[in-house]
Amino acid sequence: MVPTSTRKGYAALVGRLRAAGCVFAEDEARLLLAAASTSAQVEALVARRVAGEPLEHVLGWVRFCGRRILVEPGVFVPRRRTEFLVRSAVALPARVVVDLCCGSGAVGAAVAAALVGAQLHAVDIDPVAVRCARRNVVPIGGQVHAGDLFTPLPADLQGRVDLVVVNAPYVPTDAIASMPPEARLHEPRVALDGGTDGLDVHRRVAATAPQWLAPGGRLLIETSRQQASGTAALLAGAGFAVRMARSDELDATVAIGIMLL
């Protein structure tokens, strides 16, 4: 339990967080107080947050699709809009699921939790993300592979994957400088930078996915409203039937490629 003296300092803590630019200072103060057992621990956490470290890195977790996902410093923090990618995915039947550019493994873990009995394989090229993803994915029976896109997957999965979900980096290189400091300074560039037009990884995924997907399999890629037509064109060019899904509530766009029978 947080000491009474610390609880009495709640208003001052909210003021410090608000002065540091934290929009939801009251909520953050409650979470930080709940995460500590001593005044010294509270101060250490608050100092990290005031210095600009993402709240999720400070706490060590994020709430995503109703699950507590562990998030380590240096790992991409799942955004709420990506819950729409999960919603779109779990509406489809699947026995074998691949989560590419998995980061913390949040998307794959949420999809696998909803698709009971599905075999989950998650992949990331960043060793820090792979270590973090294993903490979220292995306990639910999934596997995490270190490497570039489909390359590290078991070869016997080729032609057998029912569902590929992708939250790859899609920020154009020149736009990274205008991102909030929390992301720009504390999340790995490999998880943000999508190349000149933001679609470099989408191109590679679209070109390679057909050899891994089963007939009728689906490839779902999170994209932006501005880049939606470009992502859709890449999927169509790779031979997919394409439809787009949109959530205005979450400001989220998902391109869905259907592998033709």
DSSP for the chain, written as a single string: ---HHHHHTHHHHHHHHHHTT-TTHHHHHHHHHHT-SSHHHHHHHHHHHHTT--HHHHHTEEEETTEEEE--TTSPPPPGGGHHHHHHHHTS--SEEEEES-TTTHHHHHHHHHSTT-EEEEEES-HHHHHHHHHHHGGGT-EEEESSTTTTS-GGGTTTEEEEEE----B-GGGGGGS-HHHHHHS-GGGTB--TTS-HHHHHHHHHGGGTEEEEEEEEEEE-TTTHHHHHHHHHHTT-EEEEEEETTTTEEEEEEE---
For residues 108 and 120, the answer to whether their CB atoms sit within 8 Å is: yes
pTM, to two decimals: 0.92
Q: Look at 34-38, 86-90, 140-144, 157-161 and tell me which has the smallest mean pLDDT.
A: 34-38
Domains and CATH numbers, the chain: 4-51 (no CATH), 80-258 (3.40.50.150)
Q: pLDDT band at residue 4, thresholds of 50, 70 and 90?
A: very low
Read off the pLDDT of each residue in 27-31 and give the average, rounded to a whole number. Answer: 94
What share of the chain in percent tops pLDDT 70? 97
Please tell me the predicted confidence (pLDDT) of residue 7: 56
The single residue listed with the structure tokens 């599905």 is 118
Give the integer Cα–Cα distance in Å for 160 and 178.
41
Mean of per-residue pLDDT scores for the chain: 94
Read off the pLDDT of each residue in 147-161 and give the average, rounded to a whole number. Answer: 98
Query: Is the model's pLDDT at 6 over the cut of 60?
Result: no
The single residue listed with the structure tokens 């205005």 is 248
Q: Which two tokens stand for residue 204?
A: 């590679």
Q: pLDDT band at residue 85, thresholds of 50, 70 and 90?
A: very high
pLDDT tens-digit series, residues 163-218: 999 999 999 999 999 999 989 999 999 999 999 999 999 999 999 999 999 999 99
**In terms of residues, how long is the chain?**
261
For residues 115 and 94, the answer to whether their CB atoms sit within 8 Å is: yes
Please tell me the predicted confidence (pLDDT) of residue 2: 46
Query: Is the model's pLDDT at 40 over the cut of 80?
Result: yes
Q: Which two tokens stand for residue 259?
A: 């592998």
**CB atoms < 10 A from the CB of 110, how many?**
27
Read off the pLDDT of each residue in 94-115 and give the average, rounded to a whole number. Answer: 97
Phi and psi dihedrals of 108, rounded to 5?
-60, -45
